[in-house]
Amino acid sequence: MTTAGSTTVIASVRSALRSVLHWKPLLPLPRRGGSAALALLPLTERVPAMAAPCRMHPAVYAIEAAVIDWARRTGLRADQGVGFHRMAGRAFAEFDAAAAALFAQWLTWLFHLDDELDEGPCPLEVFQGMLEGACDHPLEAAFADLWRVTSSRMSDEWRRRFAVSLQRQHYACRTEAANRVSGTIPTLAEYPSLRRGTVGPYLYDLVEPCLRVEVPAWVHRSQPWQELVNSCSDITAWCNDVASRPKERGDAHNLVVIARHELGLSEREAVSWVLDRIAERCRDMQQAARQLPLDDLAPRTARDVSKVACAYLAAPRAHLDWLMESSRYS
């Protein structure tokens, strides 16, 4: 490709990123979720990138059917009211239905794991079982099924990165468990890193196989990419903290709870403080996206990297819409 042609491709890639940063209103905001999730509504006025709902994938019902079929086959529940297919359908609205379906299946698995660790009999040792390929627990069997489909299209470098992310969640969940036993409340300085671990850091690795692309290792290690992923993780996790606060009574691993404890705030003041932090991270995320080293990549690779970045940029608003409508937080 000529230099002029490469410049044209990079320009079109950057244009795609800019379009995700400035969504236009397309759908009314759903408001069927619980009252705690409604506390997030001010973000739609304060944050331009969250001002309007995401597009919904035109094949959303086919995505839902794929998730239900997979869940039944692997022995997990697929509560239609929870709507993981709708979250994936928004985050992957511009891509094929198979990408959204695979991501929705992973979301279903992750939230089952989260609920089991928080409320059920699932031991933390299930992480080691997954890393070793065991299938003794239903979550291990479902993981093995997803891993077979997902990892087959990826490099050894990506597989190692995913394993590190899974191990990171293991360590973070162990820290949470120890804190609960000792009655320790994390500090505001400690919590962001801990929360990035418990939220499932490999979710951000999974965008690549869902889209059948792979971000070069050096791009993944770059400061703008790391900031893009971390800010996206913080935004979605802290929004989830606000929405899930009534559901998690007695658990100190929530940014609203920690702000109340450390800053001496009322519940309303703590929620407002958290919204301020979310708005800051939204600005950080946009800045990181603008600093991605696309000019240093071959045109095809730049397109692939842009696809993954666009999915990240769509995730906060896709997650917000889901929090508003999901029965999980009603």
Q: The domain that contains 288 carries what CATH number?
A: 1.10.600.10
Start-end of H helices in the chain? 3-21, 35-38, 43-46, 60-74, 84-91, 97-119, 126-131, 138-151, 156-182, 191-198, 202-211, 217-221, 223-244, 255-263, 267-290, 299-325
Q: Confirm whether 312 is domain-assigned.
A: yes
Distance CA 245, CA 242 (A): 5
pLDDT along the chain (330 residues), means of 10: 49 48 40 72 92 91 95 83 91 94 95 72 58 70 92 94 92 91 95 95 95 96 98 97 83 94 96 98 96 95 96 94 83
Give the per-residue pLDDT at 135.
Answer: 65
Give the per-residue pLDDT at 126.
Answer: 61
Q: How many domains does the chain have?
A: 1
Q: Confirm whether 173 is domain-assigned.
A: yes
Full domain range(s) for residue 287: 32-329
Give the per-residue pLDDT at 98.
Answer: 95
Q: Confirm whether 5 is domain-assigned.
A: no
Q: Confirm whether 17 is domain-assigned.
A: no
Q: Confirm whether 14 is domain-assigned.
A: no
Give the per-residue pLDDT at 25.
Answer: 36
Distance CA 197, CA 190 (A): 12
Q: Confirm whether 8 is domain-assigned.
A: no
- Over the stretch 199-217, which tens digit does the pLDDT of each residue have? 999 999 999 999 999 999 9
Angstrom CA distances, 28 to 25, 51, 80, 324, 325, stand at 8, 11, 21, 12, 12
Give the per-residue pLDDT at 75.
Answer: 86
Nearest Cα to Cα of residue 293 among 206, 232, 215, 204: 215
Give the per-residue pLDDT at 211.
Answer: 96
- Over the stretch 69-112, which tens digit does the pLDDT of each residue have? 999 998 887 777 788 999 999 999 999 999 999 999 999 999 88
- Over the stretch 229-244, which tens digit does the pLDDT of each residue have? 999 999 999 999 999 8
Q: Confirm whether 315 is domain-assigned.
A: yes
Q: Confirm whether 12 is domain-assigned.
A: no
- Over the stretch 134-143, which tens digit does the pLDDT of each residue have? 566 778 889 9
